[in-house]
Structure 1
């Protein structure tokens, strides 16, 4: 299994850095996790968007799904698609309100929104905790703790597994999902600070503590805010987690 970072900036893009987006390839299966702002362009450097087998959206803040609109334009407007996109709808695993939320983000006004039905192009699968399959890749879903409906994912193929936290604070569900994973791709927005609201994201230290408790093989930190001290976030995580730890970087590829 291979993980390619398409974008990893937290909440807002950084200089030459899209927000959240990751490509997972395993065997002949290609899955994109998140489609934040700027991610679609990065995706096209690594994969023909028509070759995708599924989209996974942990939640529907725009830094995780804004470029779903670009994917929609590509699939609905391309003059020479390799197949009939209405007959081969792309599976999209997302919170239950995704069809209306993503349509509203795509349409320019109410008149266009009234005509737009994304379900003719995409096969929306409402997420809930449990197990799904995309080809030979098993996808286990757990509830995350964010300020909206949000999920974390564990992808497993031929005995290898990676866990993506989405946006969350530490919680038992996340630790249980990540138990023994080869790689944990973890939300680590900032350095721990006294008095910081703790209902949005993990700090680097908290991500390290989750990784240690779950006994993962290695930790990759993502979603660091553009104005955060990334070196400090990394140092805090490394202090809490005894295994290999790194900051996600655009176009970085990890073998899992």
Structure 2
């Protein structure tokens, strides 16, 4: 399994790159995980967006899904698409309200909203409690502690397990998803403080505790807000988790296997 960081800025795009977005690949299959502000541009550095095999959304806040509408433009109006998009609708695994929310975000008028629901180029599947097979991946989704219908994921192949927190405060669901994972890709939006609001985000301390409690092989920190010092977040996580831990970088490529992650490259902060 290969993980590419398309964007990792928390809550909004930062001065160095896009908001949340990741590319997960195995056996020639390409799964995009979230598609926040600026992620479609970053994706095109690594692959043709028409080569995606599926999309997976943790939730529908703009910093995780805003570029879906621009992908809709590409799939509908590209003058020379590599294949007939109407014959191969792109599977979209997302919260239950995704078809309506995405159509409303895309439509320029009430009339268009009534007549165009994006199902001409997308095939929507609502996330649920049962594991789903998507190409070579077995994906387990669980509701996490964040406003709205929000999910964390356990993405497994025959040889690797990647756990992704999505956006969440500490909760039991994350512990279950991350249990024994080779890699935990965890949000760490802010530094630790007792007065942080519950049920929104995690700190480096929270992410480190989760990694230690779940017995993961490696911790990758992401979704750090532009106003948060990543060095402080990293130090917090290392205090709680004695295994390998690092802050991801936009463009970084990580081979996910047992028992290590090999960093292939990357740039930015």
> Does TM, scored on the shorter chain, surpass 0.5?
yes
Corresponding residue for residue 122 of structure 2: 122
Task: Note the alpha carbon deviations across 1:38-59, whole angstroms, 9 max, x for none.
Answer: 0001001111111111100000
Corresponding residue for residue 140 of structure 1: 140
* Residue 23 (str. 1) matches residue 23 (str. 2): yes
1:158 positional shift: 2.2
Q: Tell me the TM-score normalized by structure 2.
A: 0.93
Task: Note the alpha carbon deviations across 1:171-225, whole angstroms, 9 max, x for none.
Answer: 1111111111010000100011121101111111001100100000000011111
Cα distance in 2 for partners of 1:129, 1:248 equals: 29
1:230 positional shift: 1.2
Task: Note the alpha carbon deviations across 1:2-44, whole angstroms, 9 max, x for none.
Answer: 0000000011111031000000010111000000000001001
SS in structure 2 opposite 1:118? Answer: coil
Corresponding residue for residue 66 of structure 2: 66
Corresponding residue for residue 203 of structure 1: 203
Corresponding residue for residue 93 of structure 1: 93
- Superposition misfits of 4+ residues, deviation over 6 angstroms: none
Equivalent positions of 1:1-256 (< 5 A) are 1-256=1-256
Instruction: Judge conservation of contact 1:29–1:137 (CA < 8 Å) in 2.
Output: no
Cα distance in 1 for partners of 2:233, 2:212 equals: 16
Instruction: Judge conservation of contact 2:170–2:199 (CA < 8 Å) in 1.
Output: no
Q: Which moved more, 1:79-88 or 1:201-210?
A: 79-88
What is the root-mean-square deviation of aligned Cα atoms in Å? 1.0
SS in structure 1 opposite 2:131? Answer: strand
Corresponding residue for residue 261 of structure 2: none
Task: Note the alpha carbon deviations across 1:144-169, whole angstroms, 9 max, x for none.
Answer: 11111111111111221101110011
Q: Tell me the TM-score normalized by structure 1.
A: 0.97
1:115 positional shift: 2.8
Instruction: Judge conservation of contact 1:130–1:142 (CA < 8 Å) in 2.
Output: no
Runs of at least 5 residues in structure 2 that lack an aligned partner in the other structure: 257-269
Cα distance in 1 for partners of 2:246, 2:225 equals: 16
1:86 positional shift: 1.6
Cα distance in 2 for partners of 1:16, 1:159 equals: 33
